[in-house]
Amino acid sequence: MRALADFIMRGRMQAIVVVAGSAALPMLFWLCAAAGSLVLLRRGLSDALGVLVWAVLPALVWWYFGDPRTLLVLLGSFGLALLLRNQNSWPRVMLCSVGLGLLFAWALGVVFGEPIAALATELQKVLPDMLSDAYQQLSVEEQARLGALLTPVLTGLLAALLQITTLLSLMLGRYWQAQLYNPGGFGLEFRALRFSPLVAMLLLVGMLIGPSLGAQMAMLAPLCSVPLVFAGVALIHGLVKQGRMSRFWLVGLYVTLVLFMQLLYPLLAVLAIVDSLFDFRGRASRDDDAGPADGEG
């Protein structure tokens, strides 16, 4: 992967080839976003815009044929990369990704509104079998409210997947930047990711209270969970780096995420909230002089 990053940074033409080519190919929009983020993070907005234009063209073609993911992830990663370059704050990037997720949800509702509604209708039919006695104990009004939540929740889940993809693409671009110009810088940044108690509580409120504010606000639950889960993963990496946990925990973390995501995902969010209160990693060690990932600190 470092060889690819080095190729991207050799010149503008090489960057255009990778960004436009990966945007045109199916299922490589994440690579397009990562390569574009690398250019923006290292060279700035003025140089990145010349590359972005060539990536937007195939992304618009994909949107025309009914797939908005390439354009959404590309523009989303560019926006977050610009924020990261200007403010160098991963917590702010994570928080802004929630707003980005809302834009994703709106776009998905416009493009895939009917299929999502049809899927929600089918799910509503099987809810009595899925929830069995618990569903029968609900009143008619509560059953209707539960059914009304299905469409926005499904939309929010799809938007959260794009939100995660956007953040991972940005992280890959930042990792490439660190590999080329300051090895170890990205790891130092990511392991330091932690929210203040106020911000963590606000995200928790969005997860728990959002659905009660209205059917459309239910999509906040999955979107607000994403920053907390990333902070939970950063916590595990930080504890392993400090020697408080063995590296086996990292292997177990990612294996469990693949096999039992529905169980580990909320646990990581809870860990991030608790860490915001107690700061398990403590103050960052001043002995690590890797510096920022951009290699310019």
pLDDT 10s digits, 261-277: 988 999 999 999 999 99
Q: Report the candidate in 87, 89, 83, 85 with the shortest Cα–Cα distance to residue 196.
A: 89
HSE-CB at 41 with a 13 A cutoff on CA atoms is: 32
**pLDDT value of residue 284:** 45
Q: How far apart are CA 217 and CA 202, in angstroms?
A: 14
Please provide the average confidence, as pLDDT, over all residues in the chain: 90
Q: How far apart are CA 35 and CA 68, in angstroms?
A: 19
pLDDT tens digits, residue range 51-104? 999 999 999 999 999 999 999 999 999 999 999 999 999 999 999 999 999 999
- Return the C-alpha torsion angle 291, 86, 54, 156, nearest 10: 100
Nearest-10 crossing angle of helices 29-43, 140-181: 50
Q: How far apart are CA 78 and CA 194, in angstroms?
A: 23
**Residue 180 and residue 5 in contact, taking contact as beta carbons nearer than 8 Å:** yes
pLDDT confidence tier of residue 161, bands split at 50, 70 and 90: very high
pTM score, whole prediction: 0.91
How many whole angstroms from its chain centre is CA 202?
18
